[in-house]
Structure 1
Amino acid sequence: MIVRLSPRNMLLGLTTVIVLCSGVAMAQRGWWRDGPSTDRNGVPDWEIDEEFPSDMFTFVRIKYDSYGGRGRRGGSWRTDHRDSDLNFSLRLQQLTTLKVNPEPIVLELTDEELFDYPFIYIIEPGSLVFSEAEVNALRRYCLNGGFLMVDDFWGDSQYENLRWELQRVFPDRTPKEVPLSHEIFHNVYDLKEKPQVPAINSARRGYNGSIGTFERTRDGSDTSTPHYRAIYDDADRIMVFICHNTDLGDGWEREGEDQWYFEEFSVKKAYPMGINIVTYAMTH
């Protein structure tokens, strides 16, 4: 049975965790590094069962060669790496019954190890271009039961780029808007709206109490509405989940830099949506 939790209960749980950690920095500096890194940037570690090393969830970020945007810290696959992945793995371990690997990893789509992991994550796909080898590998991965989450891209032109690339992967399948009634929005955290998370520098509060949740784009398109689209397999399982006009990864990475941002976006939106997505991926 999956228990549904509220963002309020999550806030209480995370607040308790932070107090118990006595001010340990939960990885908020956010500078990405080239190549492998063992630096946890203040994120607590935990032990895993050495007898069952593969019996746990591992957060897998996909590295791609094409240059994917000109955002903060260079954009492309490195954005928010590696603090986002560490923080999310920590919270998934703390807030669910999943056994989670404390060490997230980075793989290429053509890596032979890809099929060892049921969940993969691509960030900032606004200008990525898959190679033919990547197209074939991603198609095989998804049709054989894998789950791809795509995150952190804004506006019509960036979506059109991703749509074009995914059409190369799945010529006979089109992304469809996922209704709020779908279980992916309710399986652990019962979300009342599709969450929109801006980068921390784009989040804003109005004097009238309003909250700015969207980022502006160079193409001037409307980004005020978040879109969650999916590509399904023949059994109606989501195999590609597209988080457009939102940046869940920044809600994970930047959770400790500002208390208001943490409470408004990390607790209420980024972590609940992320946990729901992984729960769906691991149970379907």
Structure 2
Amino acid sequence: MIMKLNLIFWSFFLCNLGFSQEIALLKYNGGGDWYANPTSLPNLIKFSNQNSGTRIKAKPATVSPGSPDIFSYPFIHMTGHGNVVFNSQEAENLRNYLLAGGFLHIDDNYGMDQYIRKEIKKIFPDNPLIEIPATHIIFQKPFVFANGLPKIHEHEGKKPQAYGIFVNNKLVLLYTFESDLGDGWEDYEVHNDPKEVREKALKMGTNLLNFVFNN
């Protein structure tokens, strides 16, 4: 089953690869603002292309969780502040996408946590979220984060935590909590974050793209 899904994924991916790579933003249901941080992915793409050799299209796509189009994108980003709901078809489609080799990054923009954990269980009811140690490769290259996930926005002052779902020992879903990487990727004028804070966020995001496209 997993081998068949991988063939499906790579057939979609290779047909759409061309001379560049492409990532997507997840447009989900439930009322949450999936469209938050409109400048974040374009800024991350630009930084990654300039600093790590990726060749990602400047404008990310938008894709729905139940669409077969998700198989066209090796990396899908999801964010927001509020409610998230996946129906059974969407959860199954996301599960198939991740089993086939896709990668989903969920970044809590503050307020999503109480909703998204229940929806992740719909995707992988038998795979618990596991906190990812600072020794994992996503924190090692091309930029080193010796202490793991960086803190970008304070919110409730809790420590930033990175949780993952692993399939056959490979990270396929990353949930970043109490960090707010996406806010750090935004244009400076949006949050007025110091340069060094924005740079930390962009470097961590570049590590994620590097993990997906080069491993």
TM-score grouping bracket, smaller chain normalisation: 0.7 to 0.9
Q: Give the direction of change, closer, same or farther, for the CA distance of 1:177–1:53 in structure 2 (3 Å limit).
A: closer
- Which residue does the alignment assign to 1:130? 86
- Which residue does the alignment assign to 2:176? 243
- Identify the structure with the greater helix proportion: 2
- Report if the CA contact (8 A) 2:26-2:77 is conserved: yes
Q: Say which of 21, 26, 31 aligns to 1:57.
A: 21
Name the CA distance, whole Å, in 2 between partners of 1:265 and 1:256: 14
Name the CA distance, whole Å, in 2 between partners of 1:135 and 1:257: 33
Residue 247 of structure 1: CA displacement? Answer: 1.1
Residue 126 of structure 1: CA displacement? Answer: 4.4
Q: Superposition RMSD on alpha carbons, in Å? A: 1.9
Gaps of 5+ in 2: 1-15
Higher Cα Rg, which structure: 1
Residue 283 of structure 1: CA displacement? Answer: 2.6
Name the CA distance, whole Å, in 2 between partners of 1:244 and 1:180: 15
Residue 59 of structure 1: CA displacement? Answer: 2.5
- Matched position secondary structure for 1:66: coil
- Matched position secondary structure for 1:78: coil
Judge which range, 119-128 or 99-108, deviates more.
Answer: 119-128
How many residue pairs were aligned?
199
1:109 and 2:73 matched: no
- Report if the CA contact (8 A) 2:108-2:175 is conserved: no
Q: Give the direction of change, closer, same or farther, for the CA distance of 1:143–1:228 in structure 2 (3 Å limit).
A: same
**Within 5 A, what are the aligned runs for 1:10-159?**
54-68=18-32, 76-81=33-38, 83-124=39-80, 126-154=82-110, 158-159=112-113
Name the CA distance, whole Å, in 2 between partners of 1:86 and 1:57: 13
Q: Normalising by the residue count of structure 1, what TM-score does the alignment of the two structures yield?
A: 0.65
Residue 125 of structure 1: CA displacement? Answer: 6.3
1:215 and 2:215 matched: no
1:264 and 2:196 matched: yes
The share of aligned pairs that are identical, in percent, is 27
Name the CA distance, whole Å, in 2 between partners of 1:86 and 1:107: 16
Name the CA distance, whole Å, in 2 between partners of 1:53 and 1:233: 24
Residue 230 of structure 1: CA displacement? Answer: 0.4
User: What amino acid maps onto 1:250 in structure 2?
Assistant: D
1:253 and 2:210 matched: no
- Which residue does the alignment assign to 1:180? 134
Residue 257 of structure 1: CA displacement? Answer: 5.6
Name the CA distance, whole Å, in 1 between partners of 2:84 and 2:17: 33
- Report if the CA contact (8 A) 1:256-1:262 is conserved: no
Q: Give the direction of change, closer, same or farther, for the CA distance of 1:163–1:273 in structure 2 (3 Å limit).
A: same
Q: Normalising by the residue count of structure 2, what TM-score does the alignment of the two structures yield?
A: 0.85
Residue 94 of structure 1: CA displacement? Answer: 1.1
Q: Which 4+ residue blocks in structure 1 deviate beyond 4 angstroms?
A: 256-259
- Report if the CA contact (8 A) 1:67-1:127 is conserved: yes
- Report if the CA contact (8 A) 2:23-2:74 is conserved: no
User: What amino acid maps onto 2:137 in structure 1?
Assistant: E
- Report if the CA contact (8 A) 1:232-1:239 is conserved: yes
- Report if the CA contact (8 A) 1:151-1:242 is conserved: yes
Q: Say which of 227, 231, 237 aligns to 2:165.
A: 231
User: What amino acid maps onto 2:119 in structure 1?
Assistant: E
- Report if the CA contact (8 A) 1:125-1:162 is conserved: no
Q: Give the direction of change, closer, same or farther, for the CA distance of 1:139–1:94 in structure 2 (3 Å limit).
A: same
- Which residue does the alignment assign to 2:125? 171
